[in-house]
Structure 1
Amino acid sequence: MPDALTLYLAAPRGFCAGVDRAIKIVEMALEKWGAPIYVRHEIVHNKFVVDGLRAKGAVFVEELDECPDDRPVIFSAHGVPKSVPAAASKRQMVYIDATCPLVSKVHIEAERHHHDGLQMVMIGHAGHPETVGTMGQLPPGEVLLVETPEDVARISPRDPGKLAFITQTTLSVDDTTEIVAALRKRFPNIVGPHKEDICYATTNRQEAVKAMASKIDALLVIGAPNSSNSRRLVEVGSKSGCRYAQLIQRAGDIDWRALQGAKAIGITAGASAPEVLTEEVIAAFSDRFDVTLETVVTAEERVEFKVPRVLREAMAG
C-alpha cells in the first residue's frame, strides 16, 4: 500500500496575463506571417514553452543583428532598451513588442520622472533582461541600480534631493520593502511609484506560498533557473519556514530521496510555467503515493491583456 501524501497546490500559480499574451503574440505572428518568426531573447523564461514555440517555427536569438531584415521579429515579455526598436525601425523591419504591459508601465514611469528632472534608482537584478530593458529607456547614467539594502549606501546620485525609484516587476515583496526603507532613510525626498511596480502575479504567487508554508514539509516550485519570479518563490518558501524548498523544471528533476518521510508537500509554479508541467508533477507523485490534493487559494486572478492591434486585425480579417 503506497504511503499517504497530501499535496497542497498554490492558487494562483503558473501563467500570468503578461506571459499568456506574449506566447499568444508568437503563435498569432506565426499564423499571420508563417515561419520563421524571430524572437529576441526567450519570449518568457521557460524551456518547455520556448521549445514548443521553436517547434512551430520561432527562432530565438539574443540580439537584433542575428535577425534578417525581411522577417518579423518579436521583443520578449521582459522589455527591451529603446535602442532595439530604434535599430529595427532603421532597418525597416516588421517588429512586434510583446513587453508585458506592467513592465511598460514602469518604463513610462521612468520617462516621466526623467522628464521632471529626477534621476532614477532601480531596484533590480543586474543583467536580468527586464532590468536591462528598463534602464535602457533612459540615457546612460540616468538610472542607478541597487540590488540590496547595502547597495543603497554605495550609490552617488547627482542631486540627492532629486531622485525617484522604480523596481523590477518580479522581485521578492519582502526584500524590496527592506531596500525601499533603506532608500527612504538615506534620501527622505525620494519619489516612489503611484502603485507599486512589483506585479500582481508576483505578489499573489508569493502570498500563496506564505499561506501554505506552515502546512507543508517541503516546497517544490516549477519554473526555470533563469526565471526571476520562480527563484523568488523558492526564497519566499525558505524564509517562511519550509526546511526544503526546491526549484524544478520538470517532474524528472524531483529529488525523491530529499522528500523521504514528507507527509505534506506544497507545489507552485512560476508565472512563466504552463499548467501542464504542474499536472506532470502531480502525476509523478500519484505514481508513488496515495495522494490527496488540497488547493490553497489566496487570490482570484481575472487580468487579461490584449494582443497588439496588428495581430487582432489579422485574425479578424
Structure 2
Amino acid sequence: MSKPPLTLYLAAPRGFCAGVDRAIKIVEMALQKWGAPVYVRHEIVHNRYVVDELRDKGAVFVEELDEAPDDRPVIFSAHGVPKSVPEAAQAREMVFVDATCPLVSKVHIEAERHHENGLQMVMIGHAGHPETLGTMGQLPPGEVLLVETEDDVADLMPRDPEKLAFITQTTLSVDDTAGIVAALKNRFPSIIGPHKEDICYATTNRQEAVKAMAPKCDAMLVVGAPNSSNSKRLVEVGARAGCSYSQLVQRAADIDWRALDGITSMGITAGASAPEILIEEVIDAFRDRYDVTIEMVETAVERVEFKVPRVLREPA
C-alpha cells in the first residue's frame, strides 16, 4: 500500500541553545579533566536523554549539595542556583563549576544591582522552577516577590510601591509576559524594568518560528521534557497561533498516532534542551507511516556561543 502524503514543516531555530550546549560541554570536559564520578546538582538541563547519556559517561545527578562528597567535583546546572549553594561548596572546600547559562547570570546580576540601589524585586516566573529558585535565592528572603499571572499583580504587597524593579525567568511566553509587565506598569508606574529583555534570545526565536509555522499545520509536536518550561511554552504558543492539536512528546514512542489520523500537514519543533537526535527520531517515525515532504520554516539564524569556565580550559 502506498503511504499517505504528509508535508512536514520543520521549525528553525529549534532544539539546543548556546546555554544548553555550554552546560553539557562543561559536564563532558569535567569528566575528561577529573575522571568519573563528577557530581551534578539537579539535572544539568531538562532532558532525560541528555541526562542519561551523561550518567552513562560517569556523571552522578543529585538534588542537593549534601548528597555529593567533599572530594569530588560538583557542577551546578544551567538553570542557576541560590547563592547559598556555592557558599556551602566553598565552606566544604569542594571543587565546583558553575554551568549557569550566562543569560540567567545576567538576570542574577541585575537583581543584585537593583537590590544595592534599595529596590525590592518583582520576579515574573514559575513557582518551584529551578531557575526561579536560583534567581530568588540571589537576594535575602522577602527581597524578591514572585508573580506568575496578571491576576497575581493585584495581590502584590511591596514594601514601598515607589521602589520596585522587575526581572523575569528567561524561558517564559513572550506574549504572556508582556501582559504581566503591562499590569505591573499600570499598578506601579515607577517600576523599573530590565535594560534588555530578560527572556532569552533562544526562547524568543523558538516561539517566533512556531508562530510562523503553526497556521500551516493540522497538528504540531514539540520535542521536549514535561519539566522544561520553554518546551511547554512552545506547545501553548502553537495552540494560540492557530494549530488546534499542539502536543509535547519526549520521544517518538510518545506520539499518539490515532489523534493524528487524517492529517496532511505536520509541524515539528523542539525545546532548547532537546538534542537533534530526538528530532530526527520523530521525523523517521513519520517517514515510516507517511510519504513525507519536508519544508523548513526559518525565522532566525543563531550564531551565539558561550565559553566554558576557565578552570576547564586549563590543564589538570
TM over 0.5: yes
The answer to whether residue 111 in structure 2 is matched with residue 110 in structure 1 is yes
Q: CA deviation at 1:81?
A: 0.2
How is 1:117-196 mapped onto 2 (pairs within 5 angstroms)?
117-196=118-197
Question: What residue in structure 1 maps to residue 63 of structure 2?
Answer: 62
**Secondary structure at the counterpart of residue 299 of structure 1:** coil
Question: What residue in structure 2 maps to residue 250 of structure 1?
Answer: 251
Summarize deviations over 1:252-273 as a string: whole Å, max 9, x none: 0000000011100000000000
Question: What residue in structure 1 maps to residue 289 of structure 2?
Answer: 288
Summarize deviations over 1:117-165 as a string: whole Å, max 9, x none: 0000000000000000000000000000000000000010000000000
**Secondary structure at the counterpart of residue 214 of structure 1:** helix
Unaligned runs of at least 5 residues, structure 1:
none
The answer to whether residue 23 in structure 2 is matched with residue 3 in structure 1 is no
Q: CA deviation at 1:214?
A: 1.1
- Cα distance in 2 between the residues matched to 1:311 and 1:302: 23
Question: What residue in structure 2 maps to residue 301 of structure 1?
Answer: 302
Q: CA deviation at 1:312?
A: 1.1
Q: CA deviation at 1:182?
A: 0.3
- Cα distance in 2 between the residues matched to 1:66 and 1:2: 52
Q: CA deviation at 1:61?
A: 0.2
- CA RMSD after TM alignment: 0.5
Unaligned runs of at least 5 residues, structure 2:
none
Question: What residue in structure 2 maps to residue 96 of structure 1?
Answer: 97
Summarize deviations over 1:230-272 as a string: whole Å, max 9, x none: 0000000011111100000000000000001110000000000
Q: CA deviation at 1:25?
A: 0.1
**Secondary structure at the counterpart of residue 157 of structure 2:** coil
The answer to whether residue 200 in structure 2 is matched with residue 199 in structure 1 is yes
* Amino acid of the structure 2 residue aligned with 1:240: A
- Cα distance in 2 between the residues matched to 1:174 and 1:77: 24
- Cα distance in 1 between the residues matched to 2:220 and 2:193: 33
Question: What residue in structure 2 maps to residue 41 of structure 1?
Answer: 42
- Cα distance in 2 between the residues matched to 1:234 and 1:214: 14
Summarize deviations over 1:198-235 as a string: whole Å, max 9, x none: 00000000000000111000010000000000000000
Where has structure 1 moved over 4 Å in runs of 4 or more?
none
- Cα distance in 2 between the residues matched to 1:147 and 1:43: 24
How is 1:67-82 mapped onto 2 (pairs within 5 angstroms)?
67-82=68-83
Summarize deviations over 1:85-143 as a string: whole Å, max 9, x none: 00000000000000000000000000000000000000000000000000000000000
**Secondary structure at the counterpart of residue 7 of structure 2:** strand
- Cα distance in 2 between the residues matched to 1:310 and 1:212: 42
* Amino acid of the structure 2 residue aligned with 1:110: A
- Cα distance in 1 between the residues matched to 2:296 and 2:134: 36
Q: CA deviation at 1:313?
A: 1.6
